[in-house]
Amino acid sequence: MRPVRYVFLSGLLSCCLCWLAVPVSGATRETLYDQLIATTAYGQGLEPALVKAVIKCESGFNPHAQSPKGAQGLMQLMPGTQAMLGVSQPFDPQHN
């Protein structure tokens, strides 16, 4: 495998492990976006569980999350990525 794949796979593994460590008490926030995640993920050819794991690790299901480096929203998109993807409302779960 190429080094890039190792980096991607280690990040993916990290997200999956984070997903497994989810406390039961936070289930309400995590299920709030289930339908939106499923519809969007399947529409992009992705597994909803993977998208949900990334959201859990990146923002903890907080649509208003903002990192010190400038990443925003559920998926913590950086401004450059937002521009590349045409995301104009990064804090709106339907756009992020």
Phi-psi region of 48 (alpha: psi -120 to 50; beta: other; left: phi over 0): alpha
* One-letter amino acid of 80: G
Residue 65's SS3 state is coil
Look-up of token digits 């497994």: 20
Q: What is the DSSP string of 6-46?
A: HHHHHHHHHHHHHHHT--GGGHHHHHTTHHHHHHHHHHTT-
> Would you call 58 a catalytic residue per the annotation?
yes
Of 37, 51, 52, 58, the catalytic one is 58
Active site residues: 58
